[in-house]
Amino acid sequence: MTSKQRSYLKGLAMNLEPIFQIGKSGLTPEITEAVNQALDARELVKITILKNCLDDGGSVAEMLAERTRSQLVQVIGRRIVLYRPAKDETKRKIQLP
């Protein structure tokens, strides 16, 4: 992913509300599967890590991106933005520059 594409996705993510929260139980298989399904439906998701989560944002973000086979767009404090294009090109909602 180029820096121009990453910048474009960051701009789109500014208007998104976080749809998942990772709490004290950390990154569970259920959360991973839910994020995977959300990426299939939306392509771009924002996730919040709650203060009671013992893991730091960077490590959770990298692990989640690896498990869902998605691109890590950004980590700002306790917010994570992930992107994965739709498998079918005709169903893609986000067209990268």
- Domain ranges in the chain are 3-85
Question: What are the tens digits of pLDDT across the range 18-39?
Answer: 999 998 888 889 999 999 999 9
pTM reported for the whole predicted model: 0.88
Strands in 44-49's sheet, in edge-to-edge order, are: 20-22, 44-49, 79-83, 71-76
The CATH class given to the 3-85 domain equals alpha beta
Query: In the predicted model, what is the mean pLDDT of residues 48-52?
Result: 91
CA separation for the pair 5, 2 (Å, rounded)? 5
Per the listing, tokens 């960077």 go with: 58
Contact 1, 69 (CB under 8 A): no
